[in-house]
Copies of this chain bind each other. A is one copy, B any other.
Amino acid sequence: MNYKVKEVADLVGISIRTLHHYDEIGLLSPAKITEAGYRLYSEEDLEILQQILFFKELGFSLKKIKEIINSPNFNREEALLQQRKFLQEKQQRLEKMIETLDKTIKYTRGEINMSDREKFEGFDFSKNPYEQEAREKWGDKAVDHANEKLEKLTVEGKKALGNEADEIYKKLAALKDKVSPASPEAQTAIKEWFDYLNINFGNYSLQAFKGLGQMYVADERFTRNIDQYGEGLAEFMCKAMELFADSNSR
């Protein structure tokens, strides 16, 4: 049920260091940690890891992957279907490269002629060709949408005093240098934030709330907006939100 680092590494064919790294950057943290500090990965962790590796195969950066799987409108099945499509496209690219290769072989034998352009058909090392499409699905539009609201709450909210969000931000900004994210004061303020979001925008699950917090630090646009209330506020909130979600679930 619970895998240790080496077991996971051997099972999926990656290095232990890679797992450490993913933990470090918060991309994939093990479900449990023993008293001795050993990482224990659950079956669900494995499934997230699978997702991560599919995206990696497609050339996404870890940062992007993190954004995607933490996106509020990320959907497992949709992602899998999308990845299927991408993998097929990649296969076609490979097919084209093989054709180019075949032509080149004939060319070196002097059997045919080949233009310089033809010599590079199927090649595309420029940019990740899938990113644009993925961005439309999970990235900017969705994020922008959430961000728009947030911007109203931060930038304009600053002017519109008496705004509840503004008050909460200020309260948190004042707390962030004095107490830890785990402190009762911070957790109380974070609960206000949680309730505020649930009243004003759809309903946030604890999981989604935690994900949102991670977005605050993962996505620059959020970070910028939030940090207007004080440098490091985004990070402080992220931690507080995670703690809040973890301690209130189960």
Q: Which of A24-52 contact B (CB under 8 A)?
A: 43, 46-47, 50
Residues of chain B with a CB closer than 8 A to A65's CB: none
Chain B hits for A46, CB < 8 A: 116, 119
**Does A146 touch B at the CB level, under 8 Å?**
no
Q: Is the CB of B88 within 8 A of A124?
A: no
In the bound complex, residues from chain B placing their C-beta under 8 Å from that of A109 are 77
Among B12, B50, B88, B124, contact of A98 (Cβ-Cβ < 8 Å): B88
Evaluate contact between B108 and A87: CB separation under 8 angstroms.
no
Give min CB distance, A95 to chain B, whole Å: 7
B56 to A84, Cβ gap below 8 A? Answer: no
Residues in B with CB closer than 8 Å to A95 are: 91
A94 near B101 with CB under 8 A, answer no
Of the residues B12, B15, B91, B120, contact of A13 by C-beta under 8 Å: B120
A197 within 8 A of B: no
Q: For the complex, would chain A's binding face be called helix, strand, loop or mixed by DSSP majority? A: helix
Query: A104 an interface residue at 8 Å Cβ cutoff?
Result: yes
Least CB separation from A105: chain B residue: B80
Residues on B with C-beta less than 8 A from A97 are 54, 57, 87
Q: Tell me if A125 counts as interface (CB < 8 A to partner B).
A: yes
Given A84-B101, A97-B87, A101-B87; A117-B13 close (CB under 8 Å) = no
Chain B residues with Cβ below 8 Å from A14 are 125-126
A50 and B120 contact, CB distance less than 8 A: yes
B54 touches A80 (CB 8 A): no
Q: Which residues of B contact A81 (CB under 8 A)?
A: 105
Residue of B nearest to A94 (CB): B91
A53, CB-defined interface residue at 8 Å: yes
Complex contact A108–B15 (CB within 8 A): no
Check A76 for interface membership: any CB of B closer than 8 A. Answer: yes
Extra contacts, 7 of them, besides A18-B125, A54-B101 (Cβ < 8 A), are A12-B123, A13-B124, A14-B126, A46-B119, A53-B125, A91-B91, A91-B94
